[in-house]
Amino acid sequence: MTEALFIGFAAMLVASSLLVILHRNPVASALFLVLAFCSLAGIYLLFHAEFIGMVQIIVYAGAIMVLFLFVIMYLNLQRDEEGGVHIALRRGLGWVAGTVVLAEGVFMLARRWAPGPLTPEVPGEAAGNTQQLGMLLFSRYLFPFEVTSLVLLVAIIGVVVIAKGRSTAGSGTRPAPGEDG
The residues that touch another protein, with contacts defined as CB under 8 A, are 26, 71, 75, 77, 80, 82, 87, 90-91, 93-94, 97-98, 100-101, 104-105, 107-109, 111-120, 126-127, 131, 135, 138-144, 147-148, 150-151, 153-155, 157-158, 160-162, 164-166, 168-169, 171, 173-176, 178-179, 181
Are 135 and 161 within 8 A, CB to CB?
no
User: In a 3-state reduction of DSSP, which class is residue 54?
Assistant: helix
Using the minimum distance from each CB to another protein, give the nearer residue, 4 or 114. 114
Sign of the dihedral through C-alpha 173, 176, 177, 178: negative
The three-class DSSP label of residue 95 is helix
Q: CB 79 → another protein: shortest distance, Å?
A: 11
Q: How many residues does the chain have?
A: 181
Output the smallest distance, CB 171 to another protein, in A: 6
Number of CB atoms found within 10 A of residue 121's CB: 8
Q: What gap in Å lies between CA 99 and CA 97, rounded to an integer?
A: 5
Of 5 and 140, nearer to another protein (C-beta) is 140
Q: Rounded to the nearest whole angstrom, what is the least distance from the CB of residue 78 to another protein in the complex?
A: 8
Question: For residues 2 and 139, which CB has a smaller minimum distance to another protein in the complex?
Answer: 139
What are the Cα distances from residue 67, in Å, to 30, 60, 64, 176, 177?
10, 10, 5, 9, 8
Q: How far is the CB of 43 from another protein (least distance, A)?
A: 14
Q: Taking the complex as a whole, how short is the minimal distance between the CB of residue 166 and another protein, in angstroms?
A: 7
Nearer to another protein, 66 or 138 (CB): 138
